Structure 1
Amino acid sequence: MGGKASTYAWKAVSPMTNYFYGSEGSSSATTVENYPKGRYKFSPLVLKRTGSMYFDEDGHLAHEFYIEVPPASKSRKAGMRRIRRNLTPQGEVEYDIPRLHVDLPMIMCQV
């Protein structure tokens, strides 16, 4: 209908539209057809991700680290305890093959 309510509704439904196509300021017509084609603010491809693994003090890389705990008495078994200190996150990891962004505001299909 072109009012402010439809403008806010459109921005709530597709929040990534302004990132891919840019914002038009206070324009009441906020449809994807009104934005210039092929002019992205940034690429719709994702090249890096945040790593989910950690480095320990020795430089080993893993999701979790454990240490063996000796038994308190002879009749008990040895156990494992998870290490949570002195770990550094892996950081940014590059993808081998670029991926499409999750919130890509376009429908892609094979006909």
Structure 2
Amino acid sequence: MGLNGSKKEEANESKGRAAEVPLRKGRIARRTFSANFVGAQRFLPDYFFVTETNSSLFVDEDGDTANEFYRESFEKHKRLTKLVRQVDNLMPKGRVKYPIPRLHPDVPLVLWEVHQER
């Protein structure tokens, strides 16, 4: 942001893995683990993964989606407006698929992250 161009991308002259991921000033190159995870061979059985969940979103009659809907109610004598929660004519959105499968909370495994020193 600003006039000094601190957010502009720099040309990366190095070869290899770091050259594939565009870098910005002061950023460290990361591997795209999620992309490799979806296409890789599974190391856990499928019943350890959750692929969809119940959505907490509702859809109103206009097709708008939100967690809660409010409408304004006017009081003529006091010249006040109140927000009243709308609960009529709302339908739950239903089941939503995750873009990347997630671990079930009851998986009997211990997970840890290992960092390699450079």
TM-score by length of 2: 0.54
Q: Does 1:88 align with 2:91?
A: yes
Counting only pairs closer than 5 Å after superposition, residues 28-107 of structure 1 correspond to structure 2 as: 42-73=46-77, 75-107=78-110
What is residue 31 of structure 1 aligned with on the other side? none
Residue ranges of structure 2 left out of the alignment (5+ in a row): 1-42
Change (3 A) 1:69 1:54: same
Structure 1 residue 67, shift from structure 2 partner? 0.9
Q: Deviations over 1:22-70 (max 9, x none)?
A: xxxxxxxxxxxxxxxx895x52111101000100111111011111101
State how far apart, in whole Å, the 2-side matches of 1:76 and 1:49 are: 44
Q: Which has the higher contact order (CA 8 A, sep 6+)?
A: 1
How many residue pairs get aligned? The number is: 72
Structure 1 stretches of 4+ with a deviation exceeding 3 A read: none
TM-score by length of 1: 0.57
Residue ranges of structure 1 left out of the alignment (5+ in a row): 1-37
Change (3 A) 1:50 1:44: same
Q: Say which structure is richer in helix.
A: 1
Q: Deviations over 1:1-26 (max 9, x none)?
A: xxxxxxxxxxxxxxxxxxxxxxxxxx
Identity of aligned residues (%): 38
State how far apart, in whole Å, the 2-side matches of 1:108 and 1:77 are: 55
